[in-house]
Chains A and B, each alone.
Chain A
Amino acid sequence: GNSVTQMEGPVTLSEEAFLTINCTYTATGYPSLFWYVQYPGEGLQLLLKATKADDKGSNKGFEATYRKETTSFHLEKGSVQVSDSAVYFCALSDQNYGGSQGNLIFGKGTKLSVKP
């Protein structure tokens, strides 16, 4: 079945460091891929998405590129801030109806802590 695997955390970085959180997936068909972020004490919110191969999603300085050949969607940011401290979830849709999503399958989440 479809699944998402993301790197285990926690990840601890100093402010202005480069961030990569790895995400790989297994899926049939052509899923959409997502990164969600959960700040402390809050629900998840969409960070970025990509709906087809070679698409790059970007938001708030974060980027991820949909790589079908390596079945990956790694999250990157060039210079993290303390305010980026959160849990990051990679997810894929298990269906794709003309651009709309099906159910989302989530990775286990990666906790990021950024120190000043």
Chain B
Amino acid sequence: EAQVTQNPRYLITVTGKKLTVTCSQNMNHEYMSWYRQDPGLGLRQIYYSMNVEVTDKGDVPEGYKVSRKEKRNFPLILESPSPNQTSLYFCASSLWGRASNTGELFFGEGSRLTVL
């Protein structure tokens, strides 16, 4: 089954304790992206990657890191989490740069993070 898998789905942590949210896709997609969803603010892009070893900042990259060492994985790293990073996080993937691309972005089910 084609899917984007995020882990953990729920996490409560404390300020300053490093954490990683993993994201994996099995569709051989070049493009992957992280978003955060907050009430009244909608979806905001954190980082994206157009292929292995190619990453770029989105609208709200401060306090986050990413890496893309393999095509299928795109982990989101919070080196020193703070309470303002409490949010619902989504990973997404799609094809990139092909004429046959349907333009569909595939989302994971979300990771709800609470930083105390």
Q: Which residue numbers of A lie inside 8 Å of B, CB to CB?
A: 32, 34, 36, 41-46, 49, 51, 89, 93, 97-101, 103-104, 106-109
Contacts and interface: CB of A to CB of B under 8 A. Distances in A.
5 contacts: A42-B110, A43-B107, A45-B107, A97-B97, A108-B41
Contacts of A103: 33, 45, 48, 58
B103 A44 contact: no
User: What secondary structure prevails in chain B residues at the interface with A?
Assistant: loop
Contacts of B96: 100
B57 to A, nearest CB: 11
A106 B42 contact: yes
B103 A34 contact: yes
B109 A51 contact: no
Given A99-B99, A107-B42, A46 B90 contact: no
Contacts of A106: 35, 42-43
B95 interface: yes
A60 B97 CA distance: 28
A34 B94 CA distance: 14
Contacts of B43: 44, 89, 106, 109
Interface residues of B, number: 28
A44 B107 contact: yes
A10 to B, nearest CB: 12
A49 B103 CA distance: 8
Given A106-B43, A108-B42, A99 B48 contact: no
A43 B109 contact: yes
Contacts of B45: 103
Nearest to B94: A101
A57 B24 CA distance: 30
Nearest to B45: A103
Interface in B26-40: 33, 35, 40
A46 B104 contact: yes
Contacts of A51: 103
A106 B37 CA distance: 11
